[in-house]
Amino acid sequence: MQIEVRNLSKKFGRVSAVDHVNFEIEQGKLIGLLGPSGGGKTTILRMLAGLEKPDAGEILFQGNKVNHLPPQERGIGFVFQNYALFKHMSVFDNIAFGLTVQRKSKSEIRDRVHEMIELIGLQGLENRAPHQLSGGQRQRVAFARALAPSPQLLLLDEPFAAIDAKVRKELRTWLREMISRVGITSIFVTHDQEEAVEVADEIMIINQGRLEQKGTPWQVYKEPLTPFVAGFLGESNLLHNPAHIVGFESAPRPHSEKARVLIRPEAIEVGREHEISNLSAAALGIVRSVQFRGSVWQVEVEVGEHRLLAHRTLEKETLLPGEQVAVLIHSLHLFHDEQSLFLENELKRANTRAI
Amino acid sequence: MKKLNITVTYLVFLLLLIIPLGQVLSSAFSTGFSGFWSALTDPQALHAFLISGILVGAVTALNTLFGVLLAMLLVRETGISRRIRQFLNAVVDLPFAVSPIIGGLMILLLLGPHTALGAFLEDHGVKIVFALPGMILATLFVTFPLMVREVMPVLQEIGTDQEEAAYTLGAGSWRTFWRVTWPSIRWGVLYGVVLTVARALGEFGAVLVVSGNIINKTQSATTLVYQQVENFNFVAANSLAFVLAGFSIVVLMTLEWAKRRKEV
Ligand SMILES: Nc1ncnc2c1ncn2[C@@H]1O[C@H](COP(=O)(O)OP(=O)(O)OP(=O)(O)O)[C@@H](O)[C@H]1O
Ligand SMILES: [Mg+2]
């Protein structure tokens, strides 16, 4: 189902939970809603489901306004954060619930439930009660229950939050496959940026009730529109002023307090002078600390007034704290006056051209 | 210290419960089983039991219905303002704070034969005070908090998630209540029913005030006990009291059982 949301707003008392949000979702896409706690993700999902009434704005499914429709008539499936399985019903009855509401025949219901149970791989557990299942199994039942009546839109509120890290990884790959197999438009909420980046076709970053940015994970990472997005997705160094950064001398000098400079750790090259690809574009710095981060060294380096975090591949020689190194900043993002600029090191460019 | 505690507990238990109950028992059977039996099968006693039965049945049914409805309203209805909710919440507890006799008097003052409302109803052939409807009202007043206060915490605890899940699956509120909410609250409701039965059966003050205690008309088993004591018919009084006490013990044992089910 194709979804469109216009100027959606919701207040709880004086708190603006959702604030003039606009977006459009294409048929069959898997969208990740990502943002800090209390940002309004659940509220957006609940308004789409009809469980919460918007104060203002429109929700359109396939171009038709659905604001007035109760949750029963929206054709959605909802997977709750704590699963909300019917605890007095067996796995079978949980999955069958939506089908009995549709007054399907007994045999139709049985076939569909068995199809769903096969899909989630829980054959033989039909008669268990929810409290006899593990967290991951409950999650799957909740998913099957929401999917059984063939909804047009699937909404998942932090579907993996209550599951341990390893099972979580398996489940999200599983979910990704399930959803693309069924081909249903889906929106899922998550706190976990890795999860969003890995699973979603597109992500939407929600902060303080506002939609900060929407795009493919790569787009959002590569071209963050606001300092918030830049800081939220991926690791970054956030500075107030690009002054005194070698290679960016002619960058615009923002005077407003709100201006920010973002440098990704992987855009910073640190090393002994002979290792640096383009020494003339580099500054000098002192190593302050070195940490092992699983797949890279994270090096904290002091350059002039700034302290920056940089990544260094493992196969290079280990740097020592206190050591003097060359620091080459390849690129940075500059945010000022509601704009975002992506700048590359000028000296490096000039040099390359000269060659 | 622990030993002393236990001894004192047993002693209090003995003094307050066992000895009086034994006293009732020995007095009831002081003229043998035939005396006990004839006291119970006396037409006046049979009628009193009938009245008590009707009273308990009607009150329990009404209290269950309205109690569950009000609990749902207070816990689930987000539409009503906080002030109204607080007010209703306070009103529910009123019977706990007010003596049953005063509860009875309120009904008398509102619906008695000398009030405008009472006279109007009587003109149309509806007799409330000094009749069964008044007794039911008085007992309802006294038992009202029992069901609401039993069901509200259960509703709060189960939360709205399962109900909302049912809505998103297309179920209306009726189906959602019976298939999803009811199985979670039924043991709480049973607990409330048992409390209501026990309280309705034993209610004395409020019923005495509104019923007038008319023999073979508005006399309940409880008020009959009182009358027999006044008339120095101790065998009859104690026989009735023994039956009432026995019934209450059975009811309370059901309560224990319901409580255990509620906890699982
Ligand atoms: N029923 C409610 N009553 C009052 N305030 C609410 C209610 N629901 C949400 N809020 C408020 O609205 C804001 C957004 O809440 P929401 O639950 O949508 O955030 P979220 O992004 O889902 O957060 P989390 O990631 O922690 O789940 C918060 O400030 C929250 O306190
Ligand atoms: Mg949430």
Average pLDDT of each block of 10 consecutive residues along chain A (355 residues)?
Answer: 91 90 92 91 94 93 92 93 91 95 92 91 91 90 92 90 78 84 90 86 92 91 86 81 74 74 86 80 85 86 86 84 86 80 76 47
B51 in a structural domain: yes
pLDDT at A205: 93
Distance CA B129, CA B92 (A): 23
pLDDT at A353: 47
pLDDT at A351: 54
How remote is the CA of residue A75 from the centroid of ligand 2, in Å? 22
Q: How far is B180 from chain A (nearest CA, A)?
A: 7
B34 in a structural domain: no
Distance CA A221, CA B255 (A): 62
Contact indicator for A208, A43 with CB cutoff of 8 Å: no
A339-344: strand order across its sheet: A237-239, A260-263, A331-336, A339-344
Distance CA B237, CA B226 (A): 7
Secondary structure class of A272 (helix, strand, coil) = coil
How remote is the CA of residue B69 from the centroid of ligand 1, in Å? 29
pLDDT at A354: 43
Helical axes B234-263 vs B221-230, angle rounded to 10°: 150
Contact indicator for B206, B103 with CB cutoff of 8 Å: yes
With vertex at residue A336, the alpha carbon angle to CA A333 and CA A340, rounded to the nearest 5 degrees, is 45
Enumerate chain B positions whose Cβ falls within 8 A of a Cβ in A. 161-162, 164-172, 175, 179-180, 183-184
Q: Domain spans of chain A?
A: 3-226, 235-354
pLDDT at B59: 95
- State the burial class of residue A303 (Cβ atoms within 10 Å of its Cβ: 0-12, 13-18, 19+): buried
Chain B residue at shortest CA distance from A149 = B169
Q: How far is B219 from chain A (nearest CA, A)?
A: 44
Q: Whose CA is closest to atom 28 on ligand 1?
A: A38
Distance CA B191, CA B148 (A): 11
Chain B residue at shortest CA distance from A102 = B170
Sequence-ordered strand ranges (E) for chain A? 3-12, 15-25, 30-34, 56-61, 64-65, 76-79, 153-157, 185-190, 202-207, 210-215, 237-239, 260-263, 268-271, 283-292, 296-303, 306-313, 324-329, 331-336, 339-344
- For residue A35, give the ligand 1 atom closest to its CA: 21
| Contact list, B165 vs chain A (CB under 8 Å) | 78, 80, 84-86, 145
In terms of DSSP H, where are the helices of chain B? 2-13, 19-28, 32-41, 43-76, 82-97, 100-111, 116-123, 132-158, 161-168, 173-176, 182-202, 205-211, 221-230, 234-263
Ligand 1 neighbour A238 (Cβ under 6 A): no
Half-sphere exposure for B144 (CA within 13 Å, toward CB): 22
Secondary structure class of A332 (helix, strand, coil) = strand
Residues ≥6 apart with Cβ < 8 Å to B61: none
Chain B residue at shortest CA distance from A48 = B168
Q: Which of A87, A88, A101 faces B171 most closely, judged by CB atoms?
A: A101
Chain B interface, best mutation among A43, A66, A72, A104, by max B CB count within 10 A: A72
Distance CA A225, CA A69 (A): 35
Distance CA A147, CA A175 (A): 12
The answer to whether the Cβ–Cβ distance between A84 and B171 falls below 8 Å is no
Terminal C-alpha separation, chain A:
54
Rounded to 5 degrees, what are φ and ψ at A247? Answer: 100, -10
Q: Domain A235-354 has what CATH class?
A: mainly beta
Between the CA of residue A249 and those of A241, A304, A334, what are the distances in Å? 11, 14, 13
Q: Which domain holds residue B122?
A: 43-263
CATH of the domain at B162: 1.10.3720.10
Q: How far is A78 from chain B (nearest CA, A)?
A: 7
The answer to whether the Cβ–Cβ distance between B162 and A77 falls below 8 Å is no
Between the CA of residue B126 and those of A65, B117, B222, what are the distances in Å? 54, 11, 25
Distance CA B121, CA B134 (A): 12
Distance CA B95, CA B73 (A): 19
Contact indicator for B203, B222 with CB cutoff of 8 Å: yes
Q: Which residue has the tokens 């003039």?
A: A20
| Contact list, B180 vs chain A (CB under 8 Å) | 86, 88
User: Which ipTM was obtained for this model?
Assistant: 0.82
Helical axes A135-147 vs A106-120, angle rounded to 10°: 140
pLDDT at A355: 41
Q: Which residue has the higher pLDDT, B119 or A186?
A: A186
Secondary structure class of A216 (helix, strand, coil) = coil
The chain-wide mean pLDDT, for chain B, equals 88
B94 in a structural domain: yes
Chain B interface, best mutation among A81, A85, A101, A103, by max B CB count within 10 A: A101
Q: CA Rg, chain B, in Å?
A: 22
B241 in a structural domain: yes
- For residue A158, give the ligand 1 atom closest to its CA: 27
Q: Which of A31, A49, A33 is nearest to A41 (CA)?
A: A33
Max alpha carbon distance in chain B (Å)?
Answer: 69
A283-292: strand order across its sheet: A268-271, A324-329, A283-292, A296-303, A306-313
The answer to pTM > 0.90 is no
Identify residue B60 by its one-letter amino acid code. T
* Residues forming a β-bridge with B253: none
Between the CA of residue A3 and those of A63, A180, B23, what are the distances in Å? 8, 18, 78
Looking at the 3D structure of chain B, how many domains does it have?
A: 1
Distance CA B73, CA A237 (A): 53
Chain A interface, best mutation among B157, B169, B173, by max A CB count within 10 A: B169
For A3-226, CATH gives 3.40.50.300
pLDDT at A230: 85
DSSP state of A266: G
Ligand 1 neighbour A15 (Cβ under 6 A): yes
Chain A residue at shortest CA distance from B184 = A88
Q: Which of B189, B203, B249 is nearest to B103 (CA)?
A: B203
Q: How far is B163 from chain A (nearest CA, A)?
A: 9
- State the burial class of residue A15 (Cβ atoms within 10 Å of its Cβ: 0-12, 13-18, 19+): exposed
Between the CA of residue A72 and those of A187, A353, B30, B166, what are the distances in Å? 18, 64, 68, 9
B1 in a structural domain: no
In terms of DSSP H, where are the helices of chain A? 41-49, 91-101, 106-120, 135-147, 165-182, 193-199, 217-222, 227-232, 346-354
Q: CA Rg, chain A, in Å?
A: 25
